[in-house]
Amino acid sequence: MARTKIDKFDIVIVGGGVVGLAVAYQLSKNPAYAGRNVVILEREKGFGMQTSSRNSEVIHAGIYYATESLKATLCLKGRELLYDYCRRFEIPHARIGKLIVAQSGQESELEALESKAIANGVNDLRSIDRALLTRIEPALEASSALFSPSTGIVDSHSFMQSLLANAERRGVIFSHSTCVESIMPEDQGFLLSTLIDDGRSRQPYALRTKILINCAGLGALQLAAMAFGESELAVCDSSPQQRSALPEQLLSKGSYFDYTGSNPFTHLIYPLPDRENDALGIHATIDLSGALRFGPDAEWCDHIDYSVDPAKAVFFARSVQQYFPTLDPTKLKPSYAGIRTKLRVEGATSDFVIRNEEAAGLPCFINLLGIDSPGLTSSLAIAERVEALLAGAT
Ligand SMILES: Cc1cc2nc3c(=O)[nH]c(=O)nc-3n(C[C@H](O)[C@H](O)[C@H](O)COP(=O)(O)OP(=O)(O)OC[C@H]3O[C@@H](n4cnc5c(N)ncnc54)[C@H](O)[C@@H]3O)c2cc1C
């Protein structure tokens, strides 16, 4: 019987969200990978259709994250790389700045946040008192604020489109509608089974790769479990006998409401972070067309459901009216939702995990897990980190 020919690649990147695209772009620029076969496998019909198009599109300054965490260091580095990229490739963006506001009695929390930001290397924050706030943002109600001039907004779709075009120009292949269904480690790499489903036909397709980079976002833990030969049950089981090399993943849904009234703000407005839910609080974001939107809230969930419950408008109105008292609740309209992936290590939600799985016997497997916010801001710095990990592996 004739054996089916299996295509061979040097590098497979699973996931065509902003992180997978940034990794492809970064590797395509590196002369060490010139002439190598690189493919991005994406199960959706196009790039960036999951978390990368369901977020606030904010370029974060790096204020909130634990000192020396990957989130802190990659956010600071990534934000500058992203501003440079946007300038160089004419991606719509604006460094509009943001105000983090404290209500009466919350001033010490604001000070603690400022200290954290300084420890992270964010040295451009300015304290704003009530009188100045009233002049800058007359519709805002707060006792004081921190102004972050290096926070901005970006058109994430244009950014991703540009990353992909730049990578494709240097030979990277983008294979959409291609879902990775199983991974078999081999002596010299990995055998992947995929299903290509373009809506008209479903074709199994197998391929081999020397290097595998897991940028599968919400699906990353499942993909890592495939490569490790673990069942999903083992991944979530915390009993010592069955403890997995992989962390536990929690999902946190964030919904947004559009505001159809007029936008009184010229900056992004953030309340103090919602520490209980490991979220930034329901903030006011402005997109590049000047439209105002509120969100995301934070709701732990166990499956992916992007519908927005219109009944949440009451809670949104109550939260936002603390800093925007003249908000008209009838002008809040359900918009979209995104889902954050949060890793839990020893009971606490944790940092990004970006590692070469050499210790698990898979030296050419790069795993990116728990890439929640600020993953968009950090994407180009994450890509540089993956490149550095690969330099040790190849
Ligand atoms: C509500 C919310 C607000 C946020 N706001 C911000 C913000 O303002 N600023 C910021 O910096 N960050 C923000 N983030 C974080 C940011 O959006 C993410 O960190 C980033 O988009 C993650 O990109 P990704 O490429 O890792 O994941 P994704 O965009 O989800 O891409 C992963 C891709 O992998 C594909 N995939 C999964 N499994 C498979 C498989 N088996 N085979 C093939 N393909 C597969 C998926 O289809 C998907 O397209 C926010 C996140 C959320 C949820």
Does ligand 1 have an atom closer than 6 angstroms to the CB of 251? no
pLDDT, residue 237, reads 42
CA of 370 to the centre of ligand 1 (A): 10
pLDDT, residue 280, reads 86
pLDDT, residue 392, reads 73
Q: Which letter does DSSP use for residue 181 in this model? A: E
Distance CA 246, CA 228 (A): 9
Handedness of CA 242, 243, 247, 252 (dihedral sign): positive
Does ligand 1 have an atom closer than 6 angstroms to the CB of 268? no
> What domains does the chain contain, in order, with CATH numbers?
7-53+158-246+350-393 (3.50.50.60), 98-149+250-345 (3.30.9.10)
User: What is the number of the ligand 1 atom nearest to the C-alpha of 178?
Assistant: 43
Distance CA 54, CA 51 (A): 5
Tell me the best of 351, 376, 385 to mutate to test the pocket of ligand 1, counting ligand atoms within 8 Å of each CB and taking the most. Answer: 376
The dihedrals phi and psi of 181, each to the nearest 5 degrees, come to -110, -25
Does ligand 1 have an atom closer than 6 angstroms to the CB of 14? yes
Does ligand 1 have an atom closer than 6 angstroms to the CB of 128? no
Residue type at 223 in one-letter notation:
L
pLDDT, residue 359, reads 87
- Measured at the CA of 94, the angle between CA 313 and CA 215, to 5 degrees, comes to 75
pLDDT, residue 231, reads 57
CA distances from 62 to 48, 68, 124, 250, 371 (A): 23, 11, 11, 23, 15
Mean pLDDT for each 10-residue chunk of the chain (394 residues)?
Answer: 78 98 98 95 98 98 95 98 98 98 95 96 97 97 97 98 98 98 95 94 96 97 91 44 69 97 97 86 95 96 96 97 97 98 80 92 94 97 97 69
User: What is the number of the ligand 1 atom nearest to the C-alpha of 57?
Assistant: 8
